Amino acid sequence: MRIITIDKNVADAMHQLDPEVLLNKQGRPCLLVLKLRYNGRKQDFAVPFRSNIPPAEQKENYFALPPRHTTRPRHRHGLHFCKIFPIRKKYIQKFYIDNNPGMQRAEKIIQKNEKQIINQAQAYLDKYSLGLRSPYATNIDLLLQYLEDLEQEKVA
């Protein structure tokens, strides 16, 4: 797992298709989780960092990180599994954290809790594939189809 960002054109297109995909403001950081199972297939997924996860959100739907300066009172900052989306390696870009102490601290916490994050993300996807999803969840099937269509365009 590593902290990445997504190609702006692909991220914007995904947001156009599904408004629940978070906007890629200033190269929004995401955590790349490699090879999770979804509908019997292994896929790469990205889990976006989000600074204002609502207080009513169930704990199993996010991994909490220390608050940012933009985090509102009672809200959480962390990895929000409801906003997880599939991605292909060619649309991944490096996210530079060298001059960002908050992201460096988050990276250390993520590295320490890697197994828990993977397990939480997988449990979220398992529930999602059974139809147990939030009305604010991304449409993973639609986004997978978009990525497959994008691959077909490149081949043609």
pLDDT tens for each residue of 22-57: 988 778 899 999 999 999 999 999 999 999 999 999
Q: Please, are residues 49 and 1 in contact by the beta-carbon 8 Å criterion?
A: no
**What SS3 string covers 27-48?**
CCCEEEEEEEEECCEEEEEEEE
| Region class of 15: left (phi > 0), else alpha (psi between -120 and 50), else beta | alpha
Strands 41-53 and 85-86: antiparallel
Q: Which pLDDT belongs to residue 152?
A: 87
Task: Please state, as a whole number, how many other Cβ atoms lie within 10 Å of the Cβ of residue 139.
Answer: 17
Q: Give the rounded percent of residues in the chain with a pLDDT score beyond 90.
A: 88
Q: pTM above the 0.85 mark?
A: yes
Residue in this structure with the two tokens 């960092």, named with its chain if needed: 49
Sequence letter at residue 68: R
Q: Which pLDDT belongs to residue 107?
A: 95
Q: Which pLDDT belongs to residue 155?
A: 63
Please give the Cα distance from 144 to 148 (Å, whole number).
6
**Crossing angle between the packed helical segments 101-112 and 114-129, to the nearest 10 degrees:** 80
Q: Which pLDDT belongs to residue 1?
A: 85
- Kindly give the parts of the chain with pLDDT less than 50: none
Q: Which pLDDT belongs to residue 153?
A: 81
Sequence letter at residue 27: G
